[in-house]
Amino acid sequence: MAKQVTVLVCGAGNGGHAAAGLAASRENIETRVLTLFPGSAERWTNIMKDHYLRITIDEGDTGIRNGQSIDFNVKLPFITNDASKAVPGADVIIFTSPAFAHQNYLEAIEPYIQPNTTIVGMPGQPGFEFQVFDVLKDKANQCVIMSYESLPWACRIAEFGKCVHILMVKVNLMGCIIRGRSMPSYDPMETVQRVMGKAPILTVANNYIEPILATKAIIHPPIMYGKWKNWDGKPLDKKPLFYQGLDEDQARYLGGISDELVATAKAIATQRPEVNLSGVLQLYDWYLRDHKPYIKDSTSLQTVLQTDTAYDGLVHPMKETEDGKFVPDFRYRYLTEDVPYGLAVTKGLAQIAGVPTPYHDEVIAWCQKQLGKEIIVGDELKGKDIGSTRCPQRYGINSLDALVKSITL
């Protein structure tokens, strides 16, 4: 019989609904929800007085291949906006909110965090570990820190507090685990896997640096840059395709940035052989199979994408004008999240390793202009707004020694 544990889900969005629903459906798991979005805790609590949370899961693409759809209901009796009530006694705390909300949740739980707690970023995104250690200080060394770049599923709230649809479950999900000085009485990996169920299968990289250097967050910004850097400002008649509309220029920037990350991995491994980064190339191979961004020839890339229905019809983020035409939306998450919690972090690792990054620099320089930020100056991360990113330099990490010592590998 599995050990009794308490799981706290942070967030009440799509991922929060799915994670809380799955956790509440498992035996020997007490489930709590902490939501800091104004009014959401009271609203959801009131809904739970008269309703259940319904979860529907389509397991057709999980690798189980049974084509099964699952539909079940759960009660969530513990929903609050008060960390002092939610955190004490929690064994596992799962962050399901976007990266921009992590700081608020970390600051809220910090006074009440206990040794041997497992803190899970799901999604964590690059730099999650730096941020956790920065906010929790030495308390983080007494906890287990786990980070996965994305949510385990594609999911959507059908009706707030009442129904969430899990539309697709990933087959595998790569992450990292930092155990520090923690000695939990439960198995953190087994517990988080128990919440997930059969899929996705959670796997662990050699260290926290590997997933950063293989992040999917490097994909969207160079495609946006290649498409819009010479835009004349005139609205378009229709929304352009995103992946299937790639040209040679966009493919070149994608390939250039991925090459810079491979060079960074090699540089770190050469200077600090004890840092095992052997999995980085394998991780890129994995992303190649799943996301197809690292083919430098756009004709070959588009040929591959034509056979992948997951990309059918995916368009650039656009805003509609009053006359029914379209202009690019530069405040969409492709830039607002993937630059400060993606490219800025990978650029930071490259800068520490002494690797030139002309492709990173060019793309970030354009992106920060669209965002009204100053992150990079020339080829260095020293802009006035690096505090809005999770690059290691923001946390005073400017050397390989500091990078390795800052967090136990």
The predicted structure's pLDDT at residue 339: 98
Pick the residue with more confidence: 62 or 380? 380
Residue of 80, 166, 153 whose CA lies nearest to 122: 153
Contact 6, 90 (CB under 8 A): yes
d(CA 96, CA 75): 19
Residue labelled with tokens 């007085």? 49
Q: What's the mean pLDDT when you consider all of the chain?
A: 90
What letter represents residue 239's amino acid?
K
Structure tokens given for 310: 């997951």
Mean pLDDT of all residues in 149-170: 94
Cross-strand bridge partners of residue 147: 121, 176
pLDDT digits (tens, 9 = 90+) for 348-371: 999 999 999 999 999 999 999 999
pLDDT digits (tens, 9 = 90+) for 193-241: 999 999 999 999 999 999 999 898 999 999 999 999 999 999 999 999 9
pLDDT digits (tens, 9 = 90+) for 112-148: 999 999 999 999 999 999 999 999 999 999 999 999 9
pLDDT digits (tens, 9 = 90+) for 292-347: 444 445 455 555 444 455 567 899 999 999 999 999 999 999 999 999 999 999 99
The predicted structure's pLDDT at residue 292: 45
The predicted structure's pLDDT at residue 64: 39
b/e per residue 207-218 (b: at least 16 CB within 10 A): bbbbbbbbbbbb
pLDDT digits (tens, 9 = 90+) for 66-109: 445 689 999 999 999 999 999 999 999 999 999 999 999 999 99
Structure tokens given for 73: 């209901």
Pick the residue with more confidence: 174 or 20? 20
- Band (286; pLDDT cuts 50, 70, 90): low
Strand 201-204 to 172-178 pairing: parallel
Query: Which residues are catalytically annotated?
Result: 220
How many C-beta atoms surround the C-beta of residue 247 within 10 A?
14
- Please state at what angle helix 220-228 crosses helix 358-371, rounded to 10 degrees: 70
The predicted structure's pLDDT at residue 65: 36
Mean pLDDT of all residues in 266-283: 86
Cross-strand bridge partners of residue 203: 174
* Start-to-end CA span in the chain (Å): 32
Mean pLDDT of all residues in 269-295: 69
Mean pLDDT of all residues in 275-283: 79
Of 9-23, 184-198, 281-295, 381-395, the poorest mean pLDDT is in 281-295
Residue of 335, 400, 355, 377 whose CA lies nearest to 386: 377
Pick the residue with more confidence: 303 or 243? 243
Q: What is the 3-class SS of the chain, one letter each residue?
A: CCCCEEEEEECCCHHHHHHHHHHHHCCCEEEEEECCCCCHHHHHHHHHHHCCEEEEEECCCCCCCCCCEEEEEECCCCEECCHHHHCCCCCEEEECCCHHHHHHHHHHHHHHCCCCCEEEECCCCCCHHHHHHHHHCHHHHCCEEEEECCCCEEEEEEECCCEEEEEEECCEEEEEEECCCCCCCCCHHHHHHHHHCCCCEEEECCCCHHHHHCCHHHCHHHHHHHHHCCCCCCCECCCCECCCCCCHHHHHHHHHHHHHHHHHHHHHHHHCCCCCCCHHHHHHHHHHHHHCCCCCCHHHHHHHHHCCHHHCCCECCEEECCCCCEEECCCCHHHHCCHHHHHHHHHHHHHHHCCCCHHHHHHHHHHHHHHCCCCCECCECCCCCHHHCCCHHHHCCCCHHHHHHHCCC
The predicted structure's pLDDT at residue 288: 52
d(CA 92, CA 32): 10
Cross-strand bridge partners of residue 165: 56, 156
Report the sign of the C-alpha dihedral through residues 241, 246, 250, 253, in that order: positive
The predicted structure's pLDDT at residue 311: 65
